[in-house]
Structure 1
Amino acid sequence: MTMLKTRSTGFQAYFRTVGKEGRGIVLLVIVSLLLVAGMGSRLAYLQIVEGQRNRQLADENRIRLIPKPPERGKILDRKGRVLAGNSFSYSVFVWPMAAKKSNWPRTLELLAQILKVPEEEINHRVQQAGVNSPSLIRVAQGISQAQIVALEEHRAELEGIEIDREAMRLYPHGEIAAHILGYIGELNAEELEERRDQGYRLGDVIGQMGVEASYEETLRGTWGGQQVEVDGEGKVIRILGQKIARPGNDITLSIDLDVQRAAEAALGNRTGAIVAMDPEDGSILALVSRPAFDPNWFARRMSESQWQELQRRQNPFVNRALQGFPPASTYKIVTATAGLESEYFGPDSVLMTYSALNTGGFAFHDWNRAGFGSLGFAGALAWSSNTFFGQVARRIGPESLIDWSRRYGMGEKTGIDLPGEAAGFIPTPEWKEEVFGEGWYDGDSLITSIGQGALQVSPLQAAVMFAVPANNGYRVRPHLIRSTENPDKWRQSLNLQPSTVSVLRQGLRQVVTGGTGAALNVPNIAIAGKSGTGEDPPRPHHTWFGGYAPADKPEIVVVAFAENSGGGGGSVGGPMVLNVIQAYVKHNSSK
């Protein structure tokens, strides 16, 4: 205490001797020393304690990653021919971080003039990415040589604008196989938000339909990019490293381009669908839907004329091969199976046919209004007798028809690797009671037995149905990816009696040799099949034909469907099926 008191007294004496001005200087020195000590301790803390973190922040401010999108994988047909590939062209990008904000209005004006893209669209893309985005923002694809020259002439006024070569999706066959392949398009804001955690970025393209959508993860590839060092204004000083983008994987489809072309030509401008399939394992050889579209239109900026053309077509994005329609008399395959597998009928059963069956005060007519006399199951299929199959349905009851419809795969999706498939519909007594508040009548069984009424089956489901007699009793699962695995992976037995399969095959062959499918009775190819004409009042009726060949050892099933075409199934659908089968035989003669 004595020492402290003495020291305090000394300071007081000192201050009295130096005067007022001296005391101010001393205080300033003391404060300065305190400030220096504080700054030193803070500097030591930042360098020693927080040094690593601050170095990381500094690097993040001067090092940028310029991402590079990958090349999308190709889609090939079963023989290795390209159905969807890539071509290289030049695109224009805005690099917001490197563009001078004060010059942006003039830059935007020039870009819009040269690229023929509205200013609002370019500005929206940049704003969506953020004005400090380190990424290149694509604002135009597939620019012309004249546009490249114009951009280079204005290079001094276009800071932050880059021209780069990139892969663009190309569908070399135009509308061919459009509903199989689908198309790609840039992610919208909602899609980007949903997929951001999967590595997608602004400007990314994604499969929007068909195989492009189903196999997006396989086709898309992995992003690459350049790591660059930038100065305070965002200009690149040097490239630090580069990660090569990894292209997506190619996929090979079961589609045969030759058969696909033949199916496209056979359907022509009709609204409808054609499905060609290997009956042994469900491999799709061709699948056509009309109206269609050109997927190339979506791979780059669509023109106004292209957009207007799409508006004139009737639902071009609906894949009619996967949508349900009344199957008409093609469904008699199911009715025949249900009868032959029941306790009431056998392979030698014969029924008298009539001009009409009377039920509940209504006449259920045969299509020729006269009947066909006595027929067995094979003859009834050949002549497509309504009254024959109506009598079968009466005897076996609705439960059996419903059961065998489900066994054939109706009323549920086939599981094909395409989005947008409909399940179709099987009417039941429970459904009728719930919807109409009334029971199931005899007339409901009669109308269902010939594939009319509320029954809905897609052309693809019909192809699965025709494959059952073709492959001796197996229900197959259709698929588009080419498989070399055992066919048993793709099918299950319906456990039909051999006699049932035999009668079905006899009847379907007689359809062509002497029944409603005579248009397919040609030399050198033995074809079996079944026609159908589906009512759709007040519009013209639908027409169907399904067939397979060779009749003794089938390799291909073809189903043709023409929506509201009018005419008969044999005369409208039959020639379409014949053309597809002939193309298959021509291009696969060595099989």
Structure 2
Amino acid sequence: MMRAVHPTTVQPASKVGPKQTSRTVGRQYQSVFIMLMISLLLLGGIGSRLAYLQLVEGDRNKELAENNRIRLIPKQPVRGTIFDRKGRILASSRLAHTAYVWPLAQKYDTWDQTVKRLAQILNIPEADIRTPVEDAGYNSPTRVAVGRDLTEAQITAIKEYSAELQGVDVDIEHIRNYPNKQVGAHILGYTGELNAEELAERRKDGYRLGDIVGQMGVEQAYEHLLRGEWGGQQVEVNGAGQVVQILGQKQAKAGRDVTITLDLDLQKAAEQALGSRRGAIVAIDPNNGAVLAMASFPTFDPNIFSSRITPETWQKLQGQGNPFVNRALRGFPPASTFKVVTATAGLESGKYPPNTILPTFAYLRVGGMALGEWNRAGFGPMGYVGAMAWSSNTFHGQIGRGVGGEVLIDWARRYGFGSRTGIELKSEAPGLIADDEWKRRQFNWEWTVGDTINMSIGQGFTQATPLQVAVMFAVPANGGYKVRPHLVEDPSKSNSDWRESLNLKPSTLDVLRKSLRAVVTNGTGGALQSEGIPTPAGKSGTAEAPPGKAHAWFGAYAPFDKPEIVVVAFAEHSGGGGGSLAGPMVAQVMEAYFRGKNNPQP
């Protein structure tokens, strides 16, 4: 019986695998299990992250996504206009093109290229672009101004290089304009962009990065009125940064206009009279203290601050000798103009009544000092009128010595010396009326009779501003009232609200007025004898100012019987006498005032 033979399947050699055992089968299952676990872990991690982003960070991510397509375009308000007393424009706004950067639209890999190209076009340092953007934050949806008052060539270049300047655009804004250029610069001031320190101080008042604010003068003093309120738009942009639609907007509210007491024609006349002399001229209404003109030289054009100031421009300005200092508000020795105070102290004390006659000398010797008469000979016996007309040092030195330092100091302070007048300009200095306490503190030495005599002729430690001297001249002009200078009228106030009585005796006022009139008719003020000036009265002054040349002063008011204007001229280190140098400057301003009054312009 034959055995059945089963055929055997023979596999190709290439497909013959290893011999399978129970051990090798277990390893295959283990590998699958491991791969499965890894996959589950990966999927679980991704799922957890998605859940975190959706549930925990969902609102934040939504906001970021919105910011990528929704941006804010602030609309700066138009700043209020400043007018002179006759309604003529002193400061306004004009349209100009400004370059802006959208921080949120910048890409990390192209930001450096954008900065370099934009800095090249605007001709500014790269830091002037990086710093404001960094201050705003690269996630800020609000655009940042990096270049103002662009030229046509710069605007064209930004458009031509738009492919390299993603997130950069040009828009129109209002910038400050001063149509009369440097005329009235120290009164008007200028505007400028807030720096980081100023922003930190003003943020609580609603200021923001890029705000333009008043930095000096009326622009600074009345910032709260001129500023206005910001508006803006919330817009949706596409991937190219182009505005797709406006989502919402708030209209900007223009600032309030401000009318100041300055007279543009008189201001021009004052600046022309001052010319290139370093100094100041002040003109006020003696009845209420309204400032009609205030010139200071050297000066500047405030329009330069409406765009970026280059280091070269700034260096050139500083080389002109502190052009931003308003010398009408800085203290200098008032010289013989101060004799109005000395005469008042003598008359009011009762020790030297109106009929006083005193001898004058070549020198008045006190202790180790000698007060010289300016003519080096003396004038013989003199009364108040003659002594003021010829500006006798030894006459007024005897008055000062007789009344004593405390009385003289008291009257100086009653006239307003040694303290700010109260004008709105923040740069005003108080001047100096020294006393025993001050001298001991500064020099560890007591007040002496010599100090009193020096003060009696406006020398020594005494410092007065041209504006303070104008306030002093207003006292005899208006009948004994100290006025408070101001630049903006308050409709609710009358003349009496701007002044206070010094309670001078009628006899004191009579002597002062006759004395100041005699200065012009018979003394050192002959330069004011002009047909164009009705009956002026005034006083000259020449102050020693070592190591430089003497300062020249002259103050006057007119008409004598019913004064309308007080003018004070001061020339710093000019040399020459006050009557011969500063007197003609005062005459020129007064002639312009009365010429304008008699021939008013429409």
Normalised by the length of structure 1, the TM-score is 0.88
Match of 1:299 in 2: 306
| RMSD over equivalenced CA pairs, Å | 2.6
Deviation at 1:538, TM superposition (A): 2.0
Give the Cα separation in 2 of the matches to 1:46 and 1:300. Answer: 49
Match of 1:103 in 2: 110
| 1:68-95 CA distance string (max 9 Å, x none) | 1111111111111111111111111111
Match of 1:10 in 2: none
Give the Cα separation in 2 of the matches to 1:457 and 1:147. Answer: 49
Give the Cα separation in 2 of the matches to 1:433 and 1:120. Answer: 51
Match of 1:506 in 2: 514
| 1:314-333 CA distance string (max 9 Å, x none) | 11111111111111000000
Superposed, which structure 2 residues align to 1:3-402 within 5 Å?
Answer: 63-230=70-237, 236-402=243-409
Distance 1:513 1:155, change over 3 A: same
Give the Cα separation in 2 of the matches to 1:430 and 1:139. Answer: 53
Give the Cα separation in 2 of the matches to 1:95 and 1:361. Answer: 74
After the TM superposition, which of the residue ranges 204-213 and 559-568 deviates more from structure 2? 204-213
The answer to whether 1:493 aligns with 2:501 is yes
Deviation at 1:238, TM superposition (A): 1.8
| 1:486-542 CA distance string (max 9 Å, x none) | 111110000011111111111101100110011111124211100001011221111
The answer to whether 1:538 aligns with 2:561 is no
Give the Cα separation in 1 of the matches to 2:205 and 2:94. Answer: 26
Give the Cα separation in 2 of the matches to 1:124 and 1:440. Answer: 55
Give the Cα separation in 1 of the matches to 2:198 and 2:551. Answer: 38
Q: Is the 8 A contact 1:78 1:482 kept in 2?
A: no
Deviation at 1:233, TM superposition (A): 8.5
Give the Cα separation in 2 of the matches to 1:55 and 1:88. Answer: 38
- The residue type equivalent to 1:363 in the other structure is A
Deviation at 1:482, TM superposition (A): 3.0
Q: Is the 8 A contact 1:97 1:234 kept in 2?
A: no
Match of 2:457 in 1: 450
Give the Cα separation in 2 of the matches to 1:51 and 1:307. Answer: 51
Give the Cα separation in 2 of the matches to 1:152 and 1:224. Answer: 27
Match of 1:16 in 2: none
Give the Cα separation in 1 of the matches to 2:444 and 2:519. Answer: 40
Give the Cα separation in 1 of the matches to 2:258 and 2:248. Answer: 31
| 1:554-576 CA distance string (max 9 Å, x none) | 10101111111100000111011
Q: Is the 8 A contact 1:512 1:518 kept in 2?
A: yes
Normalised by the length of structure 2, the TM-score is 0.87
Q: Is the 8 A contact 1:169 1:299 kept in 2?
A: yes
Deviation at 1:373, TM superposition (A): 1.8
The answer to whether 1:474 aligns with 2:504 is no
Task: Give the secondary-structure state (helix, strand or coil) at the position aligned to 1:545.
Answer: strand
Task: Give the secondary-structure state (helix, strand or coil) at the position aligned to 2:549.
Answer: strand
Q: Is the 8 A contact 1:98 1:235 kept in 2?
A: no
Deviation at 1:297, TM superposition (A): 1.1
Q: Is the 8 A contact 1:100 1:160 kept in 2?
A: no
Task: Give the secondary-structure state (helix, strand or coil) at the position aligned to 1:410.
Answer: coil
Deviation at 1:150, TM superposition (A): 2.2
Task: Give the secondary-structure state (helix, strand or coil) at the position aligned to 1:67.
Answer: strand
Give the Cα separation in 1 of the matches to 2:200 and 2:539. Answer: 50
Match of 1:549 in 2: 558
Unaligned runs of 5+ in 1: 1-23, 25-30
Give the Cα separation in 2 of the matches to 1:285 and 1:375. Answer: 37
Give the Cα separation in 2 of the matches to 1:553 and 1:85. Answer: 36
| 1:130-183 CA distance string (max 9 Å, x none) | 222111111111112222222222233322111111111111111111111111
- Identity across the alignment (%): 58
| 1:330-371 CA distance string (max 9 Å, x none) | 000000011111121222222222222221143322111121
Deviation at 1:205, TM superposition (A): 1.4
Deviation at 1:63, TM superposition (A): 4.1
Give the Cα separation in 1 of the matches to 2:92 and 2:121. Answer: 29
Match of 2:11 in 1: none
The answer to whether 1:567 aligns with 2:569 is no
Q: Aligned pair count?
A: 554
Distance 1:148 1:438, change over 3 A: closer
Task: Give the secondary-structure state (helix, strand or coil) at the position aligned to 2:371.
Answer: strand
Give the Cα separation in 2 of the matches to 1:62 and 1:168. Answer: 29
Q: Is the 8 A contact 2:335 2:541 kept in 1?
A: yes
- The residue type equivalent to 1:499 in the other structure is S
Task: Give the secondary-structure state (helix, strand or coil) at the position aligned to 1:341.
Answer: helix
- The residue type equivalent to 1:287 in the other structure is M
Distance 1:559 1:497, change over 3 A: same
